[in-house]
Structure 1
Amino acid sequence: MESGITVTGTGQATAPADLLRLTLSVGQDAADVATAVAEVAERTDAVTAALREQGVTLADIQTSSVNVHPQYADSMSVAGYRASHSMTVTTRDLTGFGRLLNAAVQAVGNSLGLDYLQFDVEDKSALLECARELAFAQARQKADQLAVLAGQTIGSIAAVAESYGHAPIREMAAKAVSGGFAPDLAVTPGEQTIEVSVEVRWTWS
């Protein structure tokens, strides 16, 4: 086994959110698959058009899932079918949550569902660099201390490994949206946190 020291350091960096993503779903029950799918497609188009009128670009409206499944009666016989279409909407207007929801509700009423909303940072490169520097500095500080305790001297770096992760700033779930929202409904963006861990191996000099 090679002599030396392996240390892990962690660093965190935060930045204000500059994106709001919300996932909207449109669902429809019908006696047959074709009708359910057709009506969901029509309602999805209506929601998309309403969001476009609010300034959301087509590139910022993306399908996240499409589902069709049977509905069963108490006798476990097929009573109909349910189709649904979920779409993720991205906006840089962090104050526009209520306005966008109202537009979608007005387009399709109770067929609309709000699955979740999430704030994010579009460009995380600066956050990663900052967190990485902090993680490496912590690893070096630990290595220096351990070397003193071991009566050794730090040599050259033999290997470096990195991992990172981040969590959504805020998430909420809701179903069967009805009645609309106040146009100025306030949501709090908060900050995005990135955490980087680095594992560094030094040889003894």
Structure 2
Amino acid sequence: MCARWSVRLAVMESGITVTGTGQATAPADLLRLTLSVGQDASDVAIAVAQVAERTEAVTAALHGEGVAAADIYTSAVSVHPQYGDSMAVAGYRASHSMTVTTRDLTGFGRLLNAAVAAAGNSLGLDFLQFDVSDKAVLVDQARELAFQQARQKADQLAALTGQSIGSIAAVAETQGAVPLRAMKAESARGGFAADLAVTPGEQTVDVSVEVRWNWS
């Protein structure tokens, strides 16, 4: 992990207010995919049944590649009519989207190939994102850094003005996260090379603390 900081200072007669910003980063250790299975049919029951069958096959294939049941969950289900040129109902489309989480960051192509083999041309890759499993560690690190450096600058400014730091009057905090790079695709049709390279990147968390100290 790495971190950096910045501060903003305000001096008042009764004390000093310092705003410090700490930033912490960590390499990604999770990969999340959103896969969808879609099917068009003239009958709504057929469309739903085929999607259910292929979704079950994709789930089984992912289990076979080592993805735990707890790491696969439904994120969306839809069934809707499709209309022809005359606006009459021409058929129906059913779809089932699932979010898959894996800690094997090198298994992207392998998982997709397994899913494609199970669902064929009805499979789509809707979203891919790398993430960090424990962001609390990053938040703690950024918060500590922000406060430590705010105190350091407050002490420095107090010395420059002939004052000394006393008790803390108030503390406020804000947090922010810089999202990891995400990939989006319309379809996974045709399969993927097993060694398809994707770059995990890093997760960055920012914490700002505004601290007001009284003069002693």
CA distance in structure 1 between the partners assigned to 2:184 and 2:155 by the alignment: 47
Find the partner of 1:170 among 168, 175, 181: 181
Moved more, 181-190 or 151-160: 151-160
- Counterpart residue number, 2:6: none
1:71 is the counterpart of 2:82: yes
Aligned length: 204
8 Å Cα contact 1:118/1:168 also seen in 2:
no
Query: SS of the counterpart of 1:56?
Result: coil
Structure 1's unaligned 5+ residue stretches are none
Structure number with higher strand proportion: 2
Amino acid at match of 2:126: D
| 1:108 has 2:119 as partner | yes
Q: What does 1:147-158 correspond to in 2, within 5 Å?
A: 147=158, 153-158=164-169
Distance in 1, matches of 2:132 and 2:144, equals 19
The residue aligned with 1:183 is 194
- Provide the secondary structure at the position in 1 that maps to 2:56: helix
Does the C-alpha gap of structure 1 residues 201 and 105 become closer, same or farther in structure 2, counting only changes over 3 Å?
same
* Superposition map of 1:20-169 within 5 A: 20-144=31-155, 147=158, 153-169=164-180
Matched-pair contact (CA < 8 Å) for 2:126–2:187: no
Whole-angstrom distance in 2 between the partners of 1:71 and 1:141: 65
> Measured at CA, do residues 71 and 202 of structure 1 come closer, stay the same or move farther in structure 2, by a change above 3 Å?
farther
Shift of 1:26: 0.9
Gaps of 5+ in 2: 1-12
Change (3 A) 1:151 1:30: farther
For 1:95 and 1:201, locate their aligned partners in 2 and report how far apart those are by CA, in whole Å: 47
CA distance in 2, matches of 1:86, 1:36: 15
Choose the corresponding residue for 1:192, options 192, 203, 214: 203
**Deviation of the 1:31 alpha carbon:** 2.5
State TM-score, norm by structure 2.
0.84
Given the superposition, is the C-alpha separation of residues 145 and 99 from structure 1 closer, same or farther in structure 2, using an over 3 Å criterion?
same
The answer to whether the Cα contact below 8 Å between 1:36 and 1:82 also exists between their aligned partners in 2 is: yes
Measured in 1, the distance between the counterparts of 2:68 and 2:42 equals 34
148 and 75 in structure 1: CA distance in 2 versus 1, 3 angstrom threshold: farther
Instruction: Give the letter for the 1:84 counterpart.
Output: S
Question: C-alpha separation between the residues in 1 aligned to 2:126 and 2:167?
Answer: 51
CA RMSD of aligned residues (A): 2.2
